[in-house]
Chain A
Amino acid sequence: MSDPALNIINFSKNYGSRVAVDRVSLRVKEGELFGLIGPDGAGKTSLIRAICTLLKPTGGQILVNGLDVARDIFAIRSILGYMPQRFSLYPDLTVEQNLKFFADVFKVPEAEREKRLAQLYKFSRLAPFKDRQAAALSGGMKQKLALSCALIHTPEILVLDEPTFGVDPVSREEFWEILAEIRREGTTIFVSTAYMDEADRCDRVALMHLGKIIASGTPVQVKAQYRFPLFRVTGKQLRQLREFFDRQPAVHNTQLFGEAVHVSFTEAPAPGDWQRWVRASGENLQKWSPQQPTMEDVFMENIGGESQ
Chain B
Amino acid sequence: MTNQVSVQTEMLTRRFGKFVAVDRVSIRVGKGEIFGFLGANGAGKTTLIRMLCGLLLPSDGQGTVAGFDIYRESEQIKRNIGYMSQRFSLYEDLTVEENIEFYGGIYGLNDEAIRKKKTQIFAELKLTLRAKTLTRDLPLGFKQRLALGCAMLHDPSIIFLDEPTSGVDPRVRRAFWDVIHRTADHGTTVFVTTHFMEEAEYCHRVCIMDTGKVIALDTPENLRQRFQQPTMQKVFVELVKSRIGKRI
Contacts and interface: CB of A to CB of B under 8 A. Distances in A.
B233 A169 contact: yes
Given A39-B170, A197-B231, A166 B195 contact: yes
Contacts of A39: 167-170, 172
A224 interface: no
A307 B197 contact: no
A168 B181 contact: no
Contacts of B195: 166-169, 172
Given A197-B233, A259-B219, A165 B40 contact: no
A169 B169 CA distance: 20
B220 A258 contact: yes
A307 B34 CA distance: 26
A255 to B, nearest CB: 6
B142 to A, nearest CB: 7
Interface in B155-197: 166-172, 174-175, 177-178, 181-182, 185, 195-197
A169 B172 contact: no
Nearest to B169: A39
A255 B219 contact: no
Contacts of B167: 39-40, 165, 194
A308 B175 CA distance: 10
A66 B42 CA distance: 45
Nearest to A140: B41
Interface in A158-201: 165-173, 194-197
A267 interface: no
Given A258-B219, A260-B221, A308 B178 contact: no
A303 B173 CA distance: 14
A191 to B, nearest CB: 15
B237 A173 contact: yes
Contacts of A296: 170, 198
Contact of A307 (B38, B171, B198, B205): B171
B187 to A, nearest CB: 14
Contacts of B198: 195-197, 296
Given A195-B196, A308-B142, A259 B220 contact: yes
Contacts of A170: 40, 236-237, 240-241
A255 B174 contact: yes
B40 A171 contact: yes
B157 to A, nearest CB: 20
A196 B170 CA distance: 9
A299 B170 contact: yes
Interface residues of A, number: 34
B98 interface: no
B202 interface: yes
Looking at A171, A209, A255, A303, which has the most chain B CB atoms within 10 Å of its CB?
A: A255
Contact of A169 (B38, B142, B220): B38
Interface string A236-275: 0001000000000000000111111000000000000000
A299 B174 CA distance: 12
A119 interface: no
A138 B233 CA distance: 20
Given A40-B168, A41-B140, A195-B196, A168 B201 contact: no
A295 to B, nearest CB: 9
A229 interface: no
B41 A259 contact: no
B55 to A, nearest CB: 22
Looking at B170, B175, B185, which has the most chain A CB atoms within 10 Å of its CB?
A: B170
Contacts of A168: 39-41, 195
Interface string B196-238: 1110111111000000000000011100000000010100110
A114 to B, nearest CB: 30
A308 B172 contact: yes
A166 B38 CA distance: 13
A221 B238 CA distance: 28
A280 interface: no
B128 to A, nearest CB: 15
B139 interface: yes
Contacts of A135: none
A136 to B, nearest CB: 13
A300 interface: yes
Given A138-B41, A169-B195, A169-B233, A258 B185 contact: no
B141 interface: yes
Given A40-B169, A260-B221, 16 more contacts: A40-B167, A41-B169, A42-B169, A140-B41, A166-B166, A167-B195, A168-B195, A194-B167, A196-B198, A256-B177, A258-B200, A258-B220, A296-B198, A299-B170, A300-B174, A307-B141
11 contacts: A40-B168, A138-B42, A170-B240, A196-B198, A197-B231, A255-B174, A256-B177, A258-B202, A258-B203, A259-B204, A303-B171
